């Protein structure tokens, strides 16, 4: 945490992070989400760093994923933006080796979420022309192209 405060849900725990806290490591495939506290007079901003291990496979929750996800969100949630496409988000989550956090009250929620990510994000998304990485949002475009070229569903996006 650099500035402000942030709640992080990791599994069943909710953790409050402040600038005085150490780095928090979240294990792979753990349900997690970041929840900033509302702005106040003494806390106008929330700034934090995300990091991930170096890329070693086609499906990585790394800097390329975060660049594309947050730049997409900036674009679609900005005033006049087109709004969030669930297919696009699932396509990006699939490329990041991640999935939506469905409520635990849904039986087999993690299995269902992973299946939705592959079926809707990877298969349907690629048929409809959704790609997990966009050139204008990706600083390591050659790496992104290399990843997309490993998938029969995304190969065509790696040519550009």
CA atoms within 13 A on the CB side of 91: 24
Q: pTM of the full predicted structure?
A: 0.76
pLDDT digits (tens, 9 = 90+) for 19-44: 999 989 887 667 778 888 887 888 77
In a domain, 56, yes or no: no
Domain that holds residue 4: 1-49
**79 Cβ contact partners less than 8 Å away, ≥ 6 residues apart:** none
In a domain, 106, yes or no: yes
Residues 32 and 82 in one domain: no
pLDDT digits (tens, 9 = 90+) for 83-104: 999 999 999 999 988 888 888 8
């Amino acid at each position: 945490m650099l500035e402000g405060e942030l709640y992080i849900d990791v599994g069943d725990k909710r953790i409050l992070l402040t600038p005085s806290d150490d780095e928090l490591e979240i294990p792979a495939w753990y349900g997690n989400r970041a929840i900033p506290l509302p702005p106040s007079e003494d806390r106008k901003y929330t700034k934090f760093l995300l990091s991930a291990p170096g890329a070693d496979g086609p499906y990585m929750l790394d800097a390329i994923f975060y660049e594309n996800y947050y730049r997409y969100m900036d674009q679609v949630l900005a005033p006049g933006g087109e709004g969030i496409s669930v297919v696009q988000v699932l396509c990006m989550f699939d490329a990041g080796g991640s999935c939506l956090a469905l409520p635990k009250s849904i039986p087999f929620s993690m299995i269902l979420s992973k299946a939705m990510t592959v079926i809707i994000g990877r298969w349907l998304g690629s048929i409809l022309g959704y790609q997990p990485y966009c050139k204008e949002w990706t600083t390591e475009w050659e790496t992104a192209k290399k990843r997309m070229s490993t998938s029969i569903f995304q190969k065509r996006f790696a040519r550009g």
